[in-house]
Structure 1
Amino acid sequence: MRPGRCLLVLGLLWLAGCAPVPGAAPTGAGGKGLLSGAVDGAAAPKAAKPLLRLTLAGGDVPVVPPEGYCIDPKSRRGGAQRGFAAIASCRILTGGQVGGYVEPVLITVAAGSRGTAEDLPSPELLAKARRAPLLSGSRTPDAVIAHLGQGGAAILPGGDPKHWRTVFVLDDRLVGAALYAPAGNPMAGPEGAELLMRLKARMAAEVAKPATPKAAPGAAPKAAPGAAPGATAPQRRKRGLFAGLTQR
């Protein structure tokens, strides 16, 4: 890791792991947090609909949760250079109205500065930044992941102290993510790393999609194949369980 980038990466780690999550009550507060529905079976419906996609850092970083998970729109923070969002079970975020059962984890995503693989920290630095014991860690050409032995319960009320953290390169941006699970949940173990890597893969696939060409100003809509002259292509209707939840 280049020495000059250390403070920037540490700031990214702080944002991914310490930024307040709307609706999450502090430990001992007696209130219900973002994932309280994991305990009592349902959470109160929220006014803002959960999202299946949003972008951070001025549109550079698309956040696309794994299947069954949604983005809490109230958690979104940041601007053109930075960004933060929280992900949880769609079922919990909608009070049981949308989605099937998935493990009740909380995932935070932070979009940071521009960078390359040379700027990635080591698993040891991830642990040192959180002042937590490093249980395990690994590195790929574009990502670092660490399993930390404490700190999870401070972010997620009733959470397991063990949690996962990763920093990866998405195009030319550094992105940090953390996963917190209820105490004793399998996601606090190896399964949590797999879910974080699925999140990374979905975000990378979104970045890799070819851009849709924009029509020239004043150009008429393209006619559908076989349609009569002057006819325009029919509007595509959104279908499926999550219709209307996405933000484009």
Structure 2
Amino acid sequence: MSQPKARPEGEAVGELVLTGGVVARAPAGYCVDASAASGPGISRRVAVMASCDRVSGKGQGADVPSAVLTVTVGRLHVLGTADVDAQALAAAFADQGPRAAKGGEDLVVVQLEKGGDLAVPGASPVHWRGVLHVGPRLVGLAVYVPKGSALVGARGGDLLRDLAASVRDASVIARRSEDLVADTDG
């Protein structure tokens, strides 16, 4: 995947608070490009991540596989918990050749054969998508990688699950902090 040169003014942060208190926290070695989420007309519903050195433009940071990760916050109560399972997610992406769809308690993951190169120029068509429940919201996750990357296979699914765990854990911590502040304000 020919990634564009990182902007020297790119703002690499570890996490970014999105709509509804969802915290887009990057997995180890990756950073959120805060400048991509703060421009005019761009809502705080989407966070884009890549390796920290790529986002910051400094050429330093952990040596992690090249990837573009996204976190997208959906509206409140779009679907109930029981409505999103591996079969439903695979059906939603039927035109992209779903395979390896797996569901868990609050996360559903699917590997797709097509479309990654349309979302990120130079990426492999094969990519990973997921849906995570964070409170009353559905959060869409995606991992796009270069053609030939080891992350095209099962390791890409592992990275998506790491991203989901980071978002879930950070969002729970943020909610608990808000609850503590609310309890002490009253």
Q: Same fold (TM over 0.5)?
A: yes
Is the contact between residue 8 and residue 58 of structure 2 (CA under 8 Å) also seen in structure 1? Answer: no
User: Which residue does the alignment assign to 1:107?
Assistant: 69
In the alignment of these two chains, the number of paired residues is 173
Show structure 2 runs of 5+ residues with no match: none
Equivalent in 78, 97, 102 of residue 43 of structure 2: 78
For residues 188-227 of structure 1, the aligned pairs below 5 Å read 188-209=152-173, 210-211=176-177, 213-214=180-181
For residues 124-203 of structure 1, the aligned pairs below 5 Å read 124-128=90-94, 131-203=95-167
What value does the CA root-mean-square deviation take over the aligned residues? 2.2
Equivalent in 110, 123, 127 of residue 89 of structure 2: 123
For the residues of structure 1 that align with 2:120 and 2:104, how far apart are their CA atoms? Answer: 28
Is the contact between residue 11 and residue 35 of structure 2 (CA under 8 Å) also seen in structure 1? Answer: no
Is the contact between residue 126 and residue 146 of structure 1 (CA under 8 Å) also seen in structure 2? Answer: no
User: Which residue does the alignment assign to 1:8?
Assistant: none
AA aligned opposite 2:131: V
AA aligned opposite 1:46: P
For the residues of structure 1 that align with 2:43 and 2:156, how far apart are their CA atoms? Answer: 26
AA aligned opposite 2:11: K
Kindly indicate which of the two structures has a greater share of residues assigned to strand: 2
| Cα distance change, pair 134–94 in 1 and its aligned pair in 2 (3 A) | same
Kindly indicate which of the two structures has a greater share of residues assigned to helix: 2
What is the TM-score normalised by the length of structure 2? 0.83
The 4+ residue runs of structure 1 with deviation greater than 3 A are 212-216
For the residues of structure 2 that align with 1:74 and 1:44, how far apart are their CA atoms? Answer: 12
Show structure 1 runs of 5+ residues with no match: 1-31, 37-42, 217-248
User: Which residue does the alignment assign to 2:26?
Assistant: 65
- Identity, in percent, stands at 27
Q: How many angstroms does 1:90 deviate by? A: 0.4
